[in-house]
Structure 1
Amino acid sequence: MCVGLLTGGAAAPPEFRALADVDPTVRQDMRYAGARNFMGRPVEGYEEPVCLLARPAAEALRRAQRRLLRRGLSLKVYDCYRPQRAVDQFVRWANDASDQGTKAEFYPDVDKDRLIPEGYIAEKSGHSRGSTLDVTLVALVGGRELDMGTAFDFFDPRSHTDSPAVSEAARANRRLLRDALGDAGFVNLPEEWWHFTFKPEAFPDTYFDFPVSRASVGSVWP
């Protein structure tokens, strides 16, 4: 398989879109652009808190959102396209045993030196290909997040989508999210209830590294 990598400050290919241009009703809480994440600080390459996706994935997300809105629910994305430089920083963080500031919140029961061997942190991420996102469900009125049993990016077996260690209500909400996105063509990663990839991917073999910025993508829609 040929794997490509766009590096440096390259702009996104024209197939990428800002999600807000495709569906402004999807809530966005882009965690890696700020300090509310497992590293406890903004992540390299996240210049703005915007969701960027390959166009087919963005359009599929819009279809899922249309159905959920009729049920009084909305999608909320935590992360979408992720530049390779951010993935590289995650790996450096995971290998830094001296940085344990977020352990109590994000990985209380897993030793940090196990995060890479156990697959919580990887050297390559599907996010960098533009068709993968991290997402949850919120109530349309008030924006309250539905109970999913764990927080986003909680490194623990309880985050497995079918984990029996969370409440039945949380399992039902995870199934609801998985079914809603599955009907639109997304496939869930079984180890992370929040992680979905649209299939077929627009760029299955390319890991991009342009920054997360509104300026990285065109504004033409459709």
Structure 2
Amino acid sequence: MKPYHAIPLEDCGEPLVAIPPDTFAMVDPHPYQQLGAPYGGQSPYRLRAGVLEALQEAQRWLQRPWPQWRIQIFDAYRPIAVQQFMVNHALGELRQQRYPQATDLTEAQQRELMADVIQFWAVPSLDPRTPPPHSTGAAVDISLVDAEGHPIPMGSPIDEISDRSWPNYFANHPDPETQRFHHHRQILNQAMASAGFCRHPQEWWHFSLGDQLWAWLQREADPSQPVIARYGCAEPEIPTPLAPIGPGKTPL
């Protein structure tokens, strides 16, 4: 369990709604659909209605000082089956990077891989008290683009499993050119915070509003406020088993 899973959750029943493609820039084709993630014919570009309204507010804030910039949506709602698929995919990729010649992995190696993956990927859960953030429809992965649709440099790609993903990784970098990565991350964070979002402590691209992670971060900032989560799993379902990361081995 993550620390935020201890936060009480009372789903408000708000529906998932489509993110209007004319308002935001969209990553197209969707990166997880390209990998074969099982969306069941549904669009990944959906959020809870209140979260979408806040995202639109964040873009309005952004475009006051930077009128040509837009928020780019990398990913939004994930069914639990997609979360499971992507955890398996991340495990497989990391295994290939670190142990490309290995035909089998030790238990210690498996634990090491899983520990690194779950820093950045929430483990799928059937328990309605502990939904993955993206499966609530209250979390979104985003970046920024300019008027021509070119990415604003952030210093590392979304979903990278490394310290570069930490929001303040470049904060004290001595190179002025590299410092701009931190500046751009701060602009994105300020825009989202202006609309009530909280940023994931380890991912510069991940923002949420109303889920357990958001409520936990609110409580961490002000322990006197007993904030609870208002978005649970949007469409509960049974995930597929975790794929093995070594012959005859399972990830856990």
- What is the TM-score normalised by the length of structure 1? 0.72
Alignment deviations for residues 179-200 of structure 1 (CA, whole Å, 9 cap, x no partner):
0000001000020000000136
Matched, 1:59 2:28: no
Q: Given the alignment, which residue of 156, 160, 164 partners 1:154?
A: 160
Please say if 1:205 is aligned against 2:250: no
1:90-138 CA distance string (max 9 Å, x none):
333355589738999xxxxxx8863431322331320001110000011
1:86 aligns with 2:105: no
Larger Rg: 2
Matches within 5 A, 1:121-140: 121-124=121-124, 125-139=132-146
> How many Å apart are 1:61 and its aligned residue?
0.5
For residues 136-180 of structure 1, give each alpha carbon's deviation from its aligned partner in whole angstroms, at most 9, with x where no partner exists. 0111x2111111000111110111001137621000000000000
CA deviation string 1:1-34 (max 9, x = no partner): 7879xxxxxxxx76211011xx732011132121
Q: What stretches of structure 1 of length at least 5 have no aligned partner?
A: 5-12, 35-40, 105-110, 211-222
Counterpart check, 1:142 vs 2:142:
no
Which residue does the alignment assign to 2:202? 191
> Hey, what does 1:26 align to over in structure 2?
24
CA contact (8 A) 1:94 1:115 kept: no
Report the alpha carbon displacement of residue 65 of structure 1 after superposing the two structures with TM.
1.3
Number of the residue aligned with 1:68: 62
Structure 2 segments unaligned to the other structure (5+ residues): 1-5, 101-108, 125-131, 213-228, 238-252
Structure 1's 42 and 117: CA in aligned 2 closer, same or farther, altered over 3 A? same
Aligned with 1:177 (options 153, 170, 188): 188
Look up the match of 2:15.
15
SS of residue in 1 equivalent to 2:204: coil
Compare relative contact order (CA 8 Å, sep 6+) and give the higher one, 1 or 2: 1
Q: What is the alpha-carbon distance in structure 2 between the residues aligned to residue 50 and residue 90 of structure 1?
A: 13
The 1:89–1:199 alpha-carbon spacing in structure 2 relative to 1, beyond 3 Å, is same
Distance 1:154 1:101 in 2: 12
Alignment-derived partner of residue 114 in structure 1:
112
Shift in alpha-carbon separation, 1:69–1:128, aligned structure 2, 3 A: same
Q: Residue 50 of structure 1: CA displacement?
A: 4.4
> In the alignment, which residue of structure 2 is the partner of 1:9?
none
Aligned length: 188
- Counterparts of 1:206 and 1:45, CA distance in 2: 15
- In 2, are the aligned partners of 1:97 and 1:113 still within 8 Å (CA)? no
Which structure has the highest strand share of the two? 1
3-state SS of 2:39 partner: coil
CA distance in 1, matches of 2:236, 2:83: 10
What letter corresponds to residue 81 of structure 1 in structure 2? Y
Does the aligned pair in 1 maintain the 2:45–2:76 contact within 8 Å?
yes
Q: 2: distance between equivalents of 1:144 and 1:177?
A: 15
Assess, with a 3 A threshold, how the Cα gap between structure 1 residues 184 and 171 changes in structure 2: closer, same or farther: same
TM-score after normalising by structure 2: 0.64
Give the AA of the match of 1:153: D
Q: CA RMSD in A?
A: 3.3
- Percent identical residues: 25
What secondary structure, in the 3-state scheme, does the structure 1 residue paired with 2:55 have? helix
